[in-house]
Amino acid sequence: MESDTLARIEQMLGDLVWLNAVIATELIQITENSSSILRKEAPPETCLEDHNAIRAEALRIAGQYSQNGALHRHLNRHQ
């Protein structure tokens, strides 16, 4: 394969990893919001701790493929 093609594939895979991190972290937030609505209170603290750990890992992984700070900024605004 040509180096141009390999570079394009590498970029595409990095973009997909980043996008999957966005999707994963947004799904976590949707789950927390839905739980809060149904329970009429915040999700259990153990769930929030686990979710924060998962978010941090997704952010770490995404950071390997994109230096765009938008995801980090956005996640810091989640409640």
User: pLDDT by residue (tens digit) across 11-40?
Assistant: 999 999 999 999 999 999 999 999 999 999
User: pLDDT by residue (tens digit) across 41-54?
Assistant: 999 999 999 998 99
SS (H, E, C) 21-46: HHHHHHHHHHHHHHHHHHHCCCCCHH
pLDDT in the model for residue 79: 61
Using pLDDT thresholds of 50, 70 and 90, give the confidence band for residue 63: confident
Domain segments of the chain as ranges: 3-77
Q: Is the pLDDT of residue 67 over 90?
A: no
**pTM of the complete model:** 0.79
